[in-house]
Structure 1
């Protein structure tokens, strides 16, 4: 399948500086650090006239285009420092709260820094496969 680049989606929907397996952290408003893991980075083609659900709104493409959809697992833990988040990532001692959240690239990378990397395990992709099937059937969207 050929991916055509159009201008329906803005450029920031087509760039993501991280890779599957990357462990990321961002500081929240509470000044604590989150921990997440990139599971998938997928180019989704949207043809002219096709609709896509983004954050609960339906958008109909005016031309053939694509966007990146980033699948991440998000941790429940909030750490008092970036070093503590990195230590939890390295030791594997963090707890996953959400096994898979599909997001647009700008949302997935907002404020994130890479603190490590590990292979994505098949078991970690279970939520992705459920979402992917529902997305392809037009039942769900992305954030």
Structure 2
């Protein structure tokens, strides 16, 4: 199970010189909680809705402040073939909910914790359906003791 099946592509992004107002509008339009900050096709930072509130609004920064002044720098990135479990581990270890997806350093997507949860939930649902069908088929395995019927 790889990130490419769960990521958003193409992702919304902003350049470093975008104002916080422009970034917030872009986030709202994309229904995204984070935007990669991209310069010359490369991810140089990530700006989250939390950054807008905690780093900007809470400190009285102007809506004309540039994204590069508030963004998180040196973002951890993943590739499209990164296993979902590795991305979840990375998110948990650095306490983030969004990771840019890159190919040879260039932005190709964005993946969020919610994207991964939705993807994994669908996969588990499909697996449960297969197990249920096998158990109901003639000669299928009986339900293990304690399993509730579906």
TM range (shorter): under 0.3
TM-score computed with the length of structure 1 as normaliser: 0.26
Q: Compare the two structures and name the one with the higher strand fraction.
A: 1
Larger gyration radius, structure 1 or structure 2: 2
Question: Between Structure 1 and Structure 2, which shows a larger proportion of helix residues?
Answer: 2
